[in-house]
Amino acid sequence: MRTTTRAGRMCLVSGGAVIDVEQASAGRFPADPLAVFEEWDAFRSWAAELEPAGAAGPAGPNGPVSPAPRQVFAIGLNYRDHADEARLAVPPSPSVFTKFATALTGPDTRLRLPGGHVDWEAELVVVIARRAEHVAAEDAWSHVAGLTVGQDYSERAVQSVGPVPQFSLGKSFPGFAPTGPVLVTADEFTDPDDLAIECLVNGESVQKSRTSSMIFPVPELIARLSAVCPLLPGDLIFTGTPAGVGHARTPQRYLRPGDEVVTRVEGIGQLRQTCVAA
């Protein structure tokens, strides 16, 4: 099953059709995506029986797949090659920070560059469907609504200000957390733990890996996070980025106005940002 949002409304994606959930369900499920995540099992059962010719979704671009999560987690150094390029040791446990929800945006956007040190980080993003608290890794996938593509854009100068890194601030400017173009349930993949991921800047492949290279795969991340705080329906987990970020290059490379960033994950689709001056 695939979902997206249009004008803030939850929609099903079936072939080339985008179906407004509230209208197609005659109000059984609301337009609010967060409310649908709260009833994810019932929603999936209903969607499985829906005829493709439902009510057409609103016109316009797709929005973020979960536009108002209560928590947005992000994981640092979750690929060994990225830890190596950063000249940092592989962490013994997930390195966790946050991205604030006001950074969320849809998959095809203009990225306003607030400074001269904006970097790219292609990521697989997990959306939670069922409250997860002290969940074992072997049960983790049952708490997942689906997977989507994400970018963890980072203003490296802001991130580095002060005696300790300001990860959350440097990664939370408006537009710094695009997700989409759709949310895809895990059963759509042959192996949801092994997906190709790639980032291109102006057509040049700058990151290319597979999610099976994660140090802490999705089930382990859910187990570790839920051991500390409950994960709630609609919450997001940005699962980390592979090697190839601009900050680690010699010389360092950052995004400039006019640059185009395309981020792809196998079986889901792609994001596209066009960089503009702030």
* Segments in 205-278 forming alpha helices (H): 218-226
pLDDT value, residue 88: 86
Q: Are the beta carbons of 12 and 3 closer than 8 angstroms? A: yes
pLDDT value, residue 257: 98
**Kind and range of the H or E element at 199?**
strand 196-201
For residue 237, report the phi and psi dihedrals to the nearest 5 degrees: -125, 110
Rg of the chain (C-alpha set): 18
- pLDDT tens, residue by residue, 14-47: 888 899 999 999 999 999 999 999 999 999 999 9
| DSSP annotation of 2 | E
Distances (CA, A) of 94 to 33, 75, 154, 222: 28, 6, 19, 10
* Greatest mean pLDDT range, 4-18, 47-61, 249-263: 249-263
pTM over 0.95: yes
Q: Tell me the average pLDDT across 94-120.
A: 97
- pLDDT tens, residue by residue, 166-178: 889 999 999 999 9
Q: Are the beta carbons of 152 and 136 closer than 8 angstroms? A: no
Q: Are the beta carbons of 244 and 208 closer than 8 angstroms? A: yes
Higher pLDDT among residues 123 and 87, named by residue:
123
